Structure 1
Amino acid sequence: MSNIPADLRYTKDHEYVRTTTDSGVVAIGITDFAQGELGDIVYVELPKVGATYGEHDVFGTVEAVKAVSELFMPVSGEVVEVNGRLDGEPALINTDPYGDGWMIKVRLAAGGDAGLMTADEYKAQVG
């Protein structure tokens, strides 16, 4: 069974959203389920700070040994930080998806976090 922390919100596309200590800013990454399905992650392409996205926009890609997958923005907002460690250590997404493997931090646009699932709803989706 995948690790699905109760304090996060989730998308049907297997991204998670975590609130941060900075009001209005959330951290985004892919779930433990997603990294497990992808296998060994070897490269991540992420946006630049200042880029803005709407909900469901493609904001990057994850390349694993067996597949390349697009990353879909779970919220609307502006990228305020990118996890630079992933350039040299993309496997952090496999080993610690909810910790050191976070991808970007986004300042939410007004109403930018609608439609996210709770942990229980996400668990029901992934079985």
Structure 2
Amino acid sequence: MRYSKDHLWVRKEGDLAYIGISIFHVEELGDITFIDFPALGKEVEKDGVLCYIESIKAASDVYSPVSCKVVEINQHLKDAPEWVNKDAEGEGWIMKVSLTNPSEFDKLMDHTQYESYLTQD
């Protein structure tokens, strides 16, 4: 699993990858109340808007940590977006994607680097 500076995670599995919100970011946002998912097949460049999330504390666009094409969304989150809060880095994944520039994945932070990033002043 790799992490972006925007507190998203990417878990690569073969030619596909799952994208979600880090535990740290979920704790900052509070309870997730709504997710506006992208259309299947949508192509997004790195740092492009991937989806929109609302929580009890904030509402914001989510920017993609990698260039990708959306191949699946987590249907469970449509009816229960709060599931992200229960298992942010597991079953609370937001979407499955096909990486269109796989080398970007390798440039994301590993867990140790991300933990260091979180403790920087």
- 1:30-65 deviation digits (Å, cap 9, x = unpaired): 000000000011101111110001111111111001
Please tell me whether the aligned partners of residues 2 and 105 of structure 2 are also in contact (alpha carbons under 8 angstroms): no
Q: 1:94 aligns with which of 67, 72, 85?
A: 85
Please tell me whether the aligned partners of residues 47 and 60 of structure 1 are also in contact (alpha carbons under 8 angstroms): yes
Query: What does residue range 84-123 of structure 1 map to in structure 2 within 5 Å?
Result: 84-110=75-101, 111-123=103-115
State the AA in 1 paired with 2:68.
Answer: G
Between the aligned partners of 1:116 and 1:67, the Cα distance in structure 2 is 25
Between the aligned partners of 1:109 and 1:48, the Cα distance in structure 2 is 17
Between the aligned partners of 1:120 and 1:114, the Cα distance in structure 2 is 14
Cα distance, 1:24–1:112 mapped onto 2, change above 3 Å: farther
Residue 54 (structure 2) pairs with residue 78 (structure 1): no
Alignment match, 1:39: 30
CA RMSD of aligned residues (A): 1.1
Runs of 4+ in 1 over 6 A off after TM superposition: none
- Displacement, 1:114? 4.5
Please tell me whether the aligned partners of residues 15 and 98 of structure 2 are also in contact (alpha carbons under 8 angstroms): yes
* Percent of aligned pairs with the same amino acid: 36
More helix as a share of residues? 2
TM-score (norm. length: structure 2) = 0.92
State the AA in 2 paired with 1:82.
Answer: I
- Displacement, 1:112? 4.1
Question: Which SS does the other structure have where 1:113 is aligned?
Answer: helix
Alignment match, 2:12: 19
The unaligned stretches of length 5 or more in structure 1 are: 1-7
TM-score (norm. length: structure 1) = 0.88
The unaligned stretches of length 5 or more in structure 2 are: none
